[in-house]
Structure 1
């Protein structure tokens, strides 16, 4: 299904337009992120700008609906720099769940949580998906951007460590919002060699167990706020990563639309 000429951003639609749209698609994308420090070279909104832009491209391709993003997330470890907001885990879970459950009341059956604050709030969103599935009868999915662009990121990366506001996120932002990135201010910050077994400071490293960083520990690790080398980021790398994740999420949305499409008998053919 393609509705490239139609509205898909819910915030720009009237209720009548939403009512008509839900006759065509029962899928909604909810960008979920955080407002937090991203080093000297990028703004606080990176974790929302990225999933919202990715979701917009998916909506343009598929005609699914795009909800206004969730700007605040679970970010206690970034509070060592000003501008960071954080909410309690339970508050975040309940808020995201209630947003999605309310959409179910007006006909949405499928929800994809497009998560730009990946790794840190993955556990919370996995709980939300389970609750929406079991308590509200929705098909719910947690879509961390990092999982969606892993193939491309692994293929193009030049740095050994990309953890926060470094090669991957900076490349994505250079593709999506280059005007918000100041590469002249980007600085590499090496990760320490003190990672325990089954833990790693790299986003695609050997993280086989759950672990977390405190604000005090982050303050010790990085004077700038980023961890890794953003100076090797390029728009070309970001374009490949964006294409990778948009293509994968589009496949999921199209498969959901196929599940929801009426059969010939139901449509009277």
Structure 2
């Protein structure tokens, strides 16, 4: 691949081109997602399409390396609909960690895990970041999309509930991959009336205790697969959120470019 376009998609490079790219950057973006149901109006690959497209835009601006995405994640609660894949938490953690450690062996010093399957597999990726930092001497960051588009999402939202495959994700997909979204099939699915205290089904809700959903519970909550109002999603909202993500992540990557390599003495064996 000609690196003059500013994109370093590792899967498209030869090893010599990777070697040359490492003279310019030591930062790698790793899109991490899941293949799972996303309602009647969106495809199974939403959680990978989003972080991969966002990471590509960051790579275009920063010339950092972009790894092939991870398509399978921790999604046991979505198996009530066909097409969903899920892996065990420990399997997922080990797989992501090993990918990053192998990149470190040929020169990557900073890794950003761009997480499109946010909230659910946040705990696993937080563990991976800690291991990469403490045991392998890397600068590692977990970047859940929901955290880095929060300001824009809260500014543009019009629905009271956006939990899964609803206003936020649908809007971002309308901006990134409009051809994959069928708004004629989008529906609004209300949240449950029996939510417990200190829990909330909104992505930015008042969740003050840890909790989880089973496939049976999701089956009770939604006939479509989405939870929240997907009908109010727009491309304009999605652009605001995508711009927010790209700007925030680019700022971090640019800052990393000015740092010295992490010291081997910082790693604990």
Task: State the TM-score, normalized to the length of structure 2.
Answer: 0.95
Q: Residue 188 of structure 2: SS of its match in structure 1?
A: coil
Question: Alpha-carbon deviations, 1:23-67, whole Å to 9, x = none?
Answer: 110000000000000000000000000000000000000000000
Contact 2:6 2:59 in 1 (8 A): no
The within-5 A match list for 1:1-269 is 5-260=5-260
Distance 1:108 1:13 in 2: 15
C-alpha displacement at 1:75, in angstroms?
Answer: 0.1
Q: In the superposition, relative to structure 1, how do residues 153 and 235 fare at CA in structure 2: closer, same or farther (>3 Å)? A: same
Q: Does the Cα contact within 8 Å between 1:4 and 1:61 map onto a contact in 2? A: no
For the 8 Å contact 2:7–2:60, the answer to whether it is kept is no
- 1:182-239: CA deviations, max 9, x gaps? 0000011000122112210000000122110000000000000000000000000000
- Indicate the RMSD between aligned Cα atoms, in angstroms: 1.0
Residue 260 of structure 1 deviates from its aligned partner by: 3.7
* Cα distance in 1, alignment partners of residues 190 and 90 from structure 2: 33
**What is the CA–CA distance in structure 1 between the aligned matches of 2:6 and 2:241, rounded to whole Å?**
27
- Partners in 1 of 2:199 and 2:38 — Cα distance? 22
In structure 1, runs of 5+ residues without a counterpart are 262-269
Distance 1:149 1:6, change over 3 A: closer
Structure 1 residue 6: Cα displacement: 3.9
Residues 199, 209 of structure 2: 8 Å contact kept: yes
